[in-house]
Structures are given as C-alpha cells and as structure tokens.
Amino acid sequence: MIVIEKLLAAEQVAQYRGALQSLPWENGDKTAMGMAASVKNNNQADAKDPHVRQLANQLLASVGNTPKIVSAALPHKIFPPCFNRYQESEEYGYHVDAAIMRLPDSSDVIRSDVSMTVFLSEPGEYEGGELIIKTEFGEQVVKLPAGYAVVYPSSSLHKVTAVTKGTRLAAITWMQSMVADSNLRSNLYQLDQSIQSLIQNESTSREELDRLHNVYHNLVRQFSII
C-alpha cells in the first residue's frame, strides 16, 4: 500500500469537484459485479456522459505523469477512472475487486492487479467514509487529504465505511501491471526508489548507478508479461 502525495493540485481538485456537481449520477450497485453488488451502496458518475469521460481522461494523464505511480504499479493497461460519491448512511462493504474487467465500449479486458483511490474531499468535510484495506499487517485505515491517492493490490479485501455526515467524493481506477506478482512488484518498487535516492546523492558514482539500473531493468524485462 503506497500513498501518492498531491497527485492533484488544489486547483485541479476544485475543477473536478465543480464539474461533478452538475453531472449525472447513478446508483453504484449497477456497476458492481458478482457479490460486490450486494454490499455496494453509493452513487457513481455516469461513465457514458462525455463530460465524465473528459474528467476521466484528465485524471489518466495525471496518473501517467506521476513517476511514483509508474514505479509502484508498472502499468500496462489502465481502466478509465470512475467517480463515486458517498453521502449519509452510504457505504461499500468488504469485497475484492473483480479479477478481469472489460474496458468500456471495447472487447478488450484487463486483469486488475493494482487498485487506486484518489480522494477529492478533505477529511474534515465528512465523518466516516474511511477506506479499510486488509493486509498481512492487519487492517489499514486510509483517509487522505483531497488530491492524495493510495495504490494497493487489487487482490486485497477492502471496504469503505459508512459516511455518517457530509459527502465523500473520490475517483477509483484499476491497472494491469506488467509484473503480475505483487511481492515481486513491491521489491522492484523498493529497488527503484533506492536508485532514485542514490541519484540525488552526489557521492554516488555513475558506475554504481549504471550497475543498479542494469539489475532493475533486467528484472523487469525478465518478469514482465505484455
């Protein structure tokens, strides 16, 4: 589970929120699959609306331009982001994201390896609405500032607790990684982050960086599935 700080600037968050106020919404259970539909109680912006698609494309551009997300997820395909809204008494019970997702208006599918939630409401604007992710280290409670995001394995059991006051706005998306194994992907992320830190250290030799780059890219080359 990795937090992405300030994926969206404050003015970008304001733009999304302003646009979403006037766009059509539908019951979220229409978009859930299998057992997830029975525990999903929220609203989702109509993905077929051209203005919603435009917002989704803008968010995709931000995702692709964020090195930390690329490093963490090694994305091969990304599902168009969806925008959801939780108001009083609305929640999404424990569920696992569908392993295979069909891309909208396409015969193509993606395997969901990495899930991402982008928060569009400030934590103080609503009560409840925490994202709870079950991990090997126990339940992780996530409630981040607007513009922040969290990425985590799609295989994780997770839920959004009931909102008891205010409104929670967020965007969600899923990625098919070039590296399907979550443990290997995590190790590659740690290696890449270490390399990035060494680059900032002026005492690190070019020879050492080249050697580490060689190891990293050869591992990606060996284990990537594209």
Annotated binding-site residue? 158: yes
Using alpha carbons, list the distances in angstroms from residue 140 to 2, 157, 169: 11, 11, 20
**What is the spatial distance between Cα 99 and Cα 180, in angstroms, rounded to a whole number?**
12
The secondary structure of residue 16, as a DSSP letter, is: H
Indicate the SS3 state at residue 108. Answer: coil
Annotated binding-site residue? 108: no
Annotated binding-site residue? 213: no
- Decide: 146 and 13 in contact? Cβ < 8 Å: yes
Annotated binding-site residue? 168: yes
**What is the spatial distance between Cα 162 and Cα 125, in angstroms, rounded to a whole number?**
14
Q: Residue written as tokens 């050492």?
A: 208
Using alpha carbons, list the distances in angstroms from residue 149 to 119, 164, 169, 217: 6, 22, 12, 26
> Annotated binding site: which residue ranges?
95, 97, 158, 168
> Annotated binding site for 2-oxoglutarate: which residue ranges?
168
> Annotated binding site for Fe cation: which residue ranges?
95, 97, 158
